[in-house]
Amino acid sequence: MDGLLEEFGRGDAQARAESWRYSRHALRALEQQAFAAADGNAALPDALIERFDWPQTRGHRLVFVNGVLHAALSDASTSGAIVESDADGARTIRFRGKGVLHLVFVNAASTAPSRWNARLDIRVESGTAYLAEQHVGTEGAGVLGALASAIAIDAGAALKMVTLGDLPTSASLVRCNRIALADGSGVDATHALCGGRFQRFDIDAELAGKKARFDSRGVFALRGREHVDVHLNVRHAARDTTSDVLWRGVADGRARGILHGAITVAPGADGADARLETKNLLLSPHAEIDAQPVLEIHADEVKASHGATVGQLDERALFYLRSRGVPLAAARNLLIAGFCRTAFTHIEATDLRGPFEALLDAHLPQQAGSSE
Amino acid sequence: MAVERREIESALNRRYEAGFVTDIESESLPPGLNEDIVRAISARKDEPAWMTDWRLAAYRRWLTMTPPQWAKLKIAPIDFQAISYFSRPKKQPKSLDEVDPKLIETYDKLGVPLHERAKLAGVAVDVVFDSVSVHTTVHKQLADAGIVFCSMSTAIKEHPELVRKYLGTVVPQGDNYFAALNSAVFSDGSFVFIPAGVRCPMELSTYFRINAGHTGQFERTLIIAEERASVSYLEGCTAPMRDENQLHAAVVELVALDDASIKYSTVQNWYPGDENGVGGIYNFVTKRGDCRGARSRITWTQVETGSAITWKYPSCILRGDDSAGEFHSVALTHHRQQADTGTKMIHIGKNTKSKIISKGISAGRGQNTYRGLVKIEKGATGARNYTQCDSLLIGKQCGAHTFPYIEVKNPQAIVEHEATTSKISDDQLFYCRSRGIAEEDAVSMIVDGFCKQVFRELPMEFAVEAKKLLDVSLEGAVG
């Protein structure tokens, strides 16, 4: 393999091949396409702007169109974040004290397939930062975006982050969060990944400082031919670190969902407490779920566990709802929604839960008409 | 504490009890591997031409392959040209009376009931010494039931139609690097055929021993259970202590037809190397069962305490509707042992079920990895899998790893995987010690409890042996 795999994968050829084993075909399909550089000045329809113009984040917002900062739509004057642009094109964002920032990435399609790359360097130096990351786009010829975010949390600081991936079916997105946590710092992240043709999301968290804490929650709800590949790598490298990972996956139609969740406890990282849970619903005979929970433990004062399930809706729960007069389709949707929402309980800023629920509702597999 | 520490030290340095060398005249082929060697092995065993061709095809396939790299193993490159691929005791015994007394002594030392004791124990034993099967007991009783239990070389001569029909159908020649090597040079192994409707009246058992230096052992076992047949097969293995790493690359194939059941149990106690990781057996084994028939069942049970490196995944292909596969494993690594083991459950038929219970214990600098695949194919409606992998850590420098792969393509399937990693808690130890139980005994008790789910699956005699082995292997691991 070459091309995109060289570009997006890390490590030697074998490590890359292993890490992309469930997405090789998706990647090859993209590789066979010729991409032009995406237009950073594409005009955005009003309907699209409405989708991210949340009133509560005005003055806290940066909008990137195909990876390029859109000055007219961006206003982060009251966000408390210091935004600078790096010499080599990366954007650095620093938080001191409380900060709230809404990042919007627009995949604006044009008449020919196009692609963009962007890099973010985020650092929380003190206090608690709130970060909302949103991915939207317009339908058209495919856009392939690549977003690499390096996130550093200094000692004692915290980051609460939510990401909403709501891509048009023609867009593909490869992104990674490489997170480094210093002493006593914490990250609390909730992700929802929906839509798109292919989404790959790498989350690498290095708990490098004592008592660092990492929480990751997420959902992917897929239908059609959507393909989402989530790779989580949590590394406990210092004493008394904690991680908690809880993901939910739903696949309908011909969709494919992959969750690789690896917990590594390095030698000497005693007192680590690591938990990982992934539960998945497979709703169609043509869909596929691949789960790969991994534990690598090199210390002994450790509590580590993981659980993974792939199954269907509970027939008894379904029967219960129907016996109360809820029609089958509605009962199924209710159960699926409940199943997914378990992952949203950590969203603290209550006013952000709205967009999450709306996104989920819009993307839940439409079960109406499906047979019993 | 100081006294205890000394006791622990002495226990730690306890020698590998099966590590003696038996001085028996043996004839070996010169080290190295090429087509002539493959032909020579075949010729020494008076094999028919089809077998020689089959080996040569495997050898040519092997030449095109590269050793797998994906396992998390620290392994020195193996020089395949430095290994002697065939070694056998010089005297070929006609009956047990003619078997070299030293050989009998060897098996007595190992506690293998070769002689009359076999009957008492109700176990039929086939013994493979270095490359060649030296004796199979209670032939007659089995033959009366229509059961064939003999060495592979005998089977090739006496039951060529069965061997040709089944050999390589579960693990093809080119399946993987070590399976291809085995197919080319396999020296002996056991062959079991249970005809339709027969329930094997006793446990069948094989003991493997590598004795000569600079040799590898490449046995090939084939077990066939026809419709409604059932059999329980046990295997045990030991080797002398040597400073070199010796290669053991076996292939085991199981075929279960409609309503048949095969239970395959292993207590593996190859020489693990010393505490600095010098010497020991490389145990690279391909074991696979094919539940070909409806309602068939294959159960793998393994207790892995030996070998410097263990690299094996006894698997089940659940092809027949309503077939079931089970995998129960205890793997213990101490000092610098490495174990990368697990299973594959491939669900193809409808309503197929599989259960995986894996218990890993790491002590010293041991590295223990569970690696498994549960694959539910599109047609496997109603498939069900439950997997539980628990790891126990004893010591600061050991490692326990879990790499499960779950691939589900059928929306009516249910797959569950659970894994935990923990150490023996201070609370548990304190509780036992406050009741007057010594620390070593307490650890042994806790470990025994940890493994109980698996030991329960072993036949009685083996369960006792396994528990003893575990105790010996673990002694001195607490500090």
Characterize A6-35 residue by residue with b for buried, 16 or more Cβ atoms within 10 angstroms of its Cβ, and e for exposed.
eebbeeeeeebeebbebbeebbeebeeeeb
Residue type, position B323, single letter: S
B365: closest CA of chain A, how far (Å): 10
Give the C-alpha separation, A220 to A365, whole Å: 11
Put simply, the answer to whether A296 touches B70 (Cβ < 8 Å) is: no
The residues with which A305 forms a beta bridge, in sequence order, are: A275, B420
B373: closest CA of chain A, how far (Å): 9
pLDDT in tens, A124-149: 999 999 999 999 999 988 899 999 99
Range from A176-185, B78-87, B281-290 carrying the lowest mean pLDDT = B78-87
Phi, psi at A204, each rounded to 5°: -110, 120
Name chain B contacts of A243, Cβ cutoff 8 Å: none
Give the C-alpha separation, B343 to B282, whole Å: 18
Cross-chain CB nearest to B412 (options A298, A305, A312) = A312
Mean pLDDT value across chain A:
89
Name chain B contacts of A312, Cβ cutoff 8 Å: 411-412, 414
Put simply, the answer to whether A309 touches B416 (Cβ < 8 Å) is: yes
- Chain centre to alpha carbon of residue A222: 13
Give the C-alpha separation, B128 to B207, whole Å: 6
Other C-beta atoms closer than 10 Å to the C-beta of B90 total: 9
* Chain A touched by B421 (CB under 8 Å): yes
| Residue B439 burial class via C-beta count within 10 angstroms: exposed 0-12, middle 13-18, buried 19 and up | middle
* A57 φψ region: left (φ > 0), alpha (ψ -120 to 50), beta (else): alpha
* pLDDT score of B420: 87
Cross-chain CB nearest to A282 (options B393, B397, B411) = B411
Give the C-alpha separation, B356 to B348, whole Å: 17
Put simply, the answer to whether B413 touches A282 (Cβ < 8 Å) is: yes
Put simply, the answer to whether B406 touches A308 (Cβ < 8 Å) is: yes
Find which of B72, B417, B429 to mutate to test the A interface (most A CBs within 10 Å of its CB).
Answer: B417
| Residue A123 burial class via C-beta count within 10 angstroms: exposed 0-12, middle 13-18, buried 19 and up | buried
pLDDT in tens, A263-313: 999 998 999 999 999 999 999 999 999 999 999 999 888 888 899 999 999
Cross-chain CB nearest to B408 (options A304, A305, A310) = A310
* pLDDT score of B477: 63
For chain A, helix, strand, coil in percent to 5 are 20, 45, 35
B334: closest CA of chain A, how far (Å): 14
pLDDT in tens, A30-45: 888 889 988 888 889 9
Q: How confident is the model at residue A341 (pLDDT cuts 50, 70, 90)?
A: confident
Whether B466 contacts B450, CB under 8 Å: no
Name chain B contacts of A289, Cβ cutoff 8 Å: 406-408
**pLDDT of A234 strictly over 70:** yes
Range from B314-318, B334-338, B342-346 carrying the lowest mean pLDDT = B334-338
Characterize B197-234 residue by residue with b for buried, 16 or more Cβ atoms within 10 angstroms of its Cβ, and e for exposed.
ebebebbbbbbbbbbbeebbbbbbbbbbbbbbbbbbbb
What is the full DSSP assignment across A193-205?
Answer: EEESSEEEEEEEE
Range from A332-346, B80-94, B342-356 carrying the lowest mean pLDDT = B80-94
Put simply, the answer to whether A311 touches B413 (Cβ < 8 Å) is: yes
Give the C-alpha separation, B365 to B466, whole Å: 22
Q: Which residues, in sequence order, are CB contacts of B416 under 8 Å at separation 6+?
A: A307, A308, A309, A311, B385, B386, B387
Put simply, the answer to whether B420 touches A289 (Cβ < 8 Å) is: no
pLDDT in tens, A319-329: 999 999 999 98
* Chain A touched by B146 (CB under 8 Å): no
* Chain B touched by A18 (CB under 8 Å): yes
Name chain A contacts of B400, Cβ cutoff 8 Å: 295, 297
CB pairs under 8 A between A and B: 113
Tell me the residues of chain A between 235 and 274 that have a Cβ less than 8 Å away from chain B.
267
**pLDDT of A116 strictly over 90:** yes
